[in-house]
Amino acid sequence: MTEVLEVSGLKTHFFTHAGVVKAVDGVDFTVSKGEVMGLVGESGSGKSITGFSILGLIEPPGRIVDGSIRFNGDEIANAPEERLKTLRGNRISMIFQDPMMTLNPVLRVDTQMIEAILAHENVSRQTAWERSRDALGLVGIPSPEERLQAYPHQLSGGMRQRVAIATAFLNQPDLIIADEPTTALDVTIQAQIIHEAQKLTKRTGTAMIWITHDLAVVAGLADRISVMYAGRIVEQGGIDDVIDRPLHPYTVGLLGSVPTANRRGQRLFQIEGMTPNMLALPEGCAFGPRCQALTAACSKRPPIKDVDGRSLRCFNPQRTKETTL
Amino acid sequence: MTEPLVEIRGVSKRFTKRLDVAGKIAQRLGANIREETVHAVDNVNLSIQKGEVLGLVGESGCGKSTLGRVVAGIHPASDGQMFYGGKDVATLNGTDKRAATLAIQMIFQDPFASLNPRMRVEDIIGEAPRMHGIVSKAESAEYVDDVMRKVGLDPSLKRRYAHQFSGGQRQRIGIARALAVKPKFLVCDEAIAALDVSIQAQVINLFMDLREELGLTYLFISHDLSVVEHIADRVAIMYLGRIVESASTEEIFSDPRHPYTKALLAEAPRLDQRRRDFAPIEGEIPSPLDPPSGCTFHPRCPVATAECRTTVPELKAGRGGRETACLLEHAETV
Ligand SMILES: Nc1ncnc2c1ncn2[C@@H]1O[C@H](COP(=O)(O)OP(=O)(O)OP(=O)(O)O)[C@@H](O)[C@H]1O
Ligand SMILES: Nc1ncnc2c1ncn2[C@@H]1O[C@H](COP(=O)(O)OP(=O)(O)OP(=O)(O)O)[C@@H](O)[C@H]1O
Ligand code: SF4
Ligand code: SF4
Ligand SMILES: [Mg+2]
Ligand SMILES: [Mg+2]
């Protein structure tokens, strides 16, 4: 397998007045050609910052303080902005949670998409326009010729996200980082977008990191899954292993809290407590204050260990828990 | 039957894209352009009993948010009537009107856009209850702490600004802001869509607890069928501005009738389906500017007949008394 992306020991910290936020604090993973990795985790756990770090989009007070990011074998952590610029939107694309982060509100859709192509390729405006139109059609946008003339605010939320996704796919990148791209969309559109993403990864071998809180989407789409908590990946492995036999108490809790038909109307299992305060993480395991399997050992930071064919940060793997779906 | 808490009758909402000066001149000179009208909500009837949770599900752009905003009194309807506690809202006077306005609160889809980035969280949550005399100035700080705890936010963060929170935390701020004015009826527009699972579970439990504790009634707009299945008593399925099926949650999920409802259920991702081939229903979403003739679902419907292209199906009881807007379902009554 060819590794498109190899992240190791990545640390991205924010130096705020209130203290240092260790948003990403020792993250390792690889993504191979054509592979889809699902990145899931609590709100604020560092998923987006991991994505931004790869794209070189970290701005002060944030900084990549340690680790390496290899893209097609080349080190790109803290690479010069010029180098990153030629990668972004060309070899690596990002689809954001909020489509307005990629779309310019004052420019028409056609202007933005054509510029995205012309910035990296020497083709005629007409060719670029045709490719833009086809890309909109591919993500299920009706009458693409008309929509090309629209401004982003004239489109509904779902439509805007599809324009952003079409734009990310324009230059057939090697890697797409999709940050909650279907969160606000309904199921037929989500299915269409996932379907397009699947087709693209299969056809072009584009690798994908799919950031989401929706475990069911990851189950249906990803080959591997990384579960993140408080800046670290706490469990990483093959999709079937992790979803059918979760080992980390946090993963166990997450899977238990998904509403499914057999729990209708009942209270859902809920992981107690709240999103950890990243400025005041506990000494030992960051999940400790919310963990039902806490023991004395957990007052130390759990290191990464290989357990049952996956990597895990936990002293007390939950082997007894079999997920009932 | 008790009287519904909220009822809307024949509600429509149209948006008209007005021509700019250049457009008007071009039109005078004979160019083939005209004002475009979007029928975002088209002749919808809904009634929601006190204490009930009505789930509203549908395609992107089908008018869910618009309908939610009309119900919440944020958008005036183009046509139709809205009743709160049996009274036509349009006829309410000063104090009654204000009471009704406070009683219906909306929790928005987009936590990024709905919070003022220049306000501290304590003011986002505390301003309205102070202004409306729900709490005194002296009690305000403690009240804000209480509400924050209720939605799972650490009160020690209340002096921060909204932009200093992650997406999930911001949505909880939005919920806290709505709850702070002690509403009776909540319109939740994708209120938990942006939250991660462990917090979703907490918020779903919270919505269910609040329903019991405070007797809250909900219009729960969501694209997440499993969440709607979990929380709603009744479900209405919307397509291109119209309700196409309405039934108890049990009926919708165990025996969907409208072809669109069937497609929705088939495509919902599930934990037990791995690396599946997503096979979305064929066809494009019709433009609401130029909706298809007859049944607006016909271009995507796998069982459409010739009649579906010309006849508009009404939402009415068909086979087994189930409410759908599908000609096939109506025909099978006999
Ligand atoms: N500009 C910034 N200054 C200070 N802290 C920041 C900044 N941007 C992000 N953070 C912090 O970094 C942490 C990780 O944030 P990130 O956006 O990666 O979370 P996430 O996992 O994507 O969450 P969500 O699911 O809510 O999108 C959070 O605790 C956040 O508060
Ligand atoms: N202020 C407005 N001006 C013009 N058109 C509008 C306005 N608000 C909504 N629309 C149009 O009305 C239709 C319904 O939009 P609405 O936002 O209600 O859909 P929705 O079902 O909430 O979609 P989503 O799932 O994307 O949030 C869309 O075609 C939209 O473009
Ligand atoms: S290391 Fe200890 S506290 Fe952390 S998740 Fe494992 S059991 Fe829980
Ligand atoms: S009326 Fe016809 S096109 Fe519409 S849903 Fe029924 S069968 Fe399909
Ligand atoms: Mg994020
Ligand atoms: Mg909406």
Indicate whether A262 pLDDT > 70: no
First vs last C-alpha separation in chain A: 32
What percentage of residues in chain A have a pLDDT greater than 90?
59
Residues A164, A182: one domain? no
Dihedral sign computed on CA atoms, order A183, A104, A200, B299? positive
- Residue A248, in any domain of the structure: yes
Of A126, A146, A170, the domain-final residue: A170
- Residue A41 forms contact with B (CB below 8 Å): yes
- Residue A98, in any domain of the structure: no
- Smallest CA–CA separation between A9 and chain B, in Å? 23
- Residue B284 forms contact with A (CB below 8 Å): yes
Output the pTM of the full model.
0.79
- Residue A96, in any domain of the structure: no
Measured from the CB, is residue B303 less than 6 Å from ligand 4?
yes
Range of A138's domain?
Answer: 104-170
A181 CA to centre of ligand 2 in angstroms: 19
B158-200 pLDDT, tens digit per residue, is 999 988 887 667 878 888 999 899 999 999 998 887 676 777 7
Dihedral sign computed on CA atoms, order B77, B81, B86, B89? positive
A141-200 pLDDT, tens digit per residue, is 878 999 999 999 888 767 887 898 888 888 889 999 999 887 767 677 777 778 877 777
- The residue among B20, B196, B270 with the most chain A CBs within 10 A of its CB, best to mutate, is B196
Residues A17, A141: one domain? no
Average pLDDT, stretch B259-273? Answer: 86
The ligand 2 site (C-beta within 6 Å) comprises: A 156-158, 186; B 15, 38, 40, 58, 60-66, 109, 288
CATH of the domain at A261: 3.40.50.300
Fill in the DSSP letter of residue B28: H
Residues A181, A286: one domain? yes
Structure tokens at B152: 């799972």
Residues A159, A15: one domain? no
pLDDT at A323: 52
- The residue among A186, A194, A201, A325 with the most chain B CBs within 10 A of its CB, best to mutate, is A186
Which phi and psi angles does A226 have, rounded to 5°?
-120, 130
Between residues 183 and 222 of chain B, which touch chain A (CB distance below 8 Å)? 190, 193-202, 204-205, 208
Of A170, A188, A204, the domain-final residue: A170
A298 CA to centre of ligand 5 in angstroms: 27
Query: How many cross-chain Cβ pairs, A to B, lie less than 8 Å apart?
Result: 190
A90-121 pLDDT, tens digit per residue, is 899 988 877 888 889 899 999 999 999 999 89
- Residue A99, in any domain of the structure: no
B296-324 pLDDT, tens digit per residue, is 999 989 999 999 999 999 999 988 889 99
Residues A177, A162: one domain? no
- Smallest CA–CA separation between B150 and chain A, in Å? 11
Residues A67, A152: one domain? no
B35-80 pLDDT, tens digit per residue, is 778 889 999 999 999 999 999 998 778 899 999 999 998 889 999 9
Residues A166, A178: one domain? no
pLDDT at A15: 97
- Residue A8, in any domain of the structure: yes
Identify the band that residue B10 occupies on the pLDDT scale cut at 50, 70 and 90. very high
Helix extents (H) in chain B: 21-28, 64-71, 94-103, 111-114, 121-131, 137-150, 167-179, 197-214, 225-231, 249-254, 259-267, 327-331
Residues A13, A62: one domain? yes
The ligand 1 site (C-beta within 6 Å) comprises: A 14, 16, 21, 23, 41, 43-49, 62, 278; B 166-168, 196
Structure tokens at A173: 């990148």
Between residues 44 and 73 of chain B, which touch chain A (CB distance below 8 Å)? 57-61
A149 CA to centre of ligand 2 in angstroms: 18
Inter-residue contact B147 to B140 (CB < 8 Å): no
Distance, CA of A139 to CA of A163 (rounded, Å):
8
Structure tokens at B218: 């909900």
pLDDT at B282: 64
Domain count, chain A: 2
Distance, CA of B101 to CA of B126 (rounded, Å):
17
pLDDT at A19: 93
- Residue A264, in any domain of the structure: yes
- Residue A17 forms contact with B (CB below 8 Å): no
Residues A40, A138: one domain? no
Distance, CA of B221 to CA of B311 (rounded, Å):
29
Where do the domains of chain B lie, and which CATH numbers do they carry? Answer: 6-256 (3.40.50.300)
B227 CA to centre of ligand 1 in angstroms: 26
- Residue A281, in any domain of the structure: yes
Between residues 182 and 201 of chain A, which touch chain B (CB distance below 8 Å)? 183-192, 194-195, 198
Residues A19, A108: one domain? no
Distance, CA of B24 to CA of B226 (rounded, Å):
48
- Residue B268 forms contact with A (CB below 8 Å): yes
Residues A275, A291: one domain? yes
Identify the band that residue B256 occupies on the pLDDT scale cut at 50, 70 and 90. very high
Q: Which residues of B touch A185 (CB under 8 A)?
A: 60, 223
Query: What string of H, E and C letters represents the secondary structure of B174-194?
Result: HHHHHHCCCCCEEEEECCCCC
Kindly report the protein residue whose alpha carbon is nearest to atom 2 of ligand 1: A14
**Of residues A300, A51, A41, A17, the one with CA closest to residue B161:** A17
- Smallest CA–CA separation between A304 and chain B, in Å? 23
Angle, CA B285 vertex, CA A125 and CA B187 arms, to 5°: 115
Measured from the CB, is residue B313 less than 6 Å from ligand 4?
yes
- Residue A109, in any domain of the structure: yes
pLDDT at A166: 87
Q: What is the ipTM of this complex?
A: 0.75
Q: Which residues of A touch B198 (CB under 8 A)?
A: 42, 253-254, 257, 270-271
Average pLDDT, stretch B4-25? Answer: 84
Residues A179, A126: one domain? no
Of A151, A170, A189, the domain-final residue: A170
Q: Please provide the average confidence, as pLDDT, over all residues in chain A.
A: 89
Q: Which residues of A touch B17 (CB under 8 A)?
A: 154
B148-164 pLDDT, tens digit per residue, is 988 878 899 999 998 88
Helix extents (H) in A56-124: 81-87, 109-118
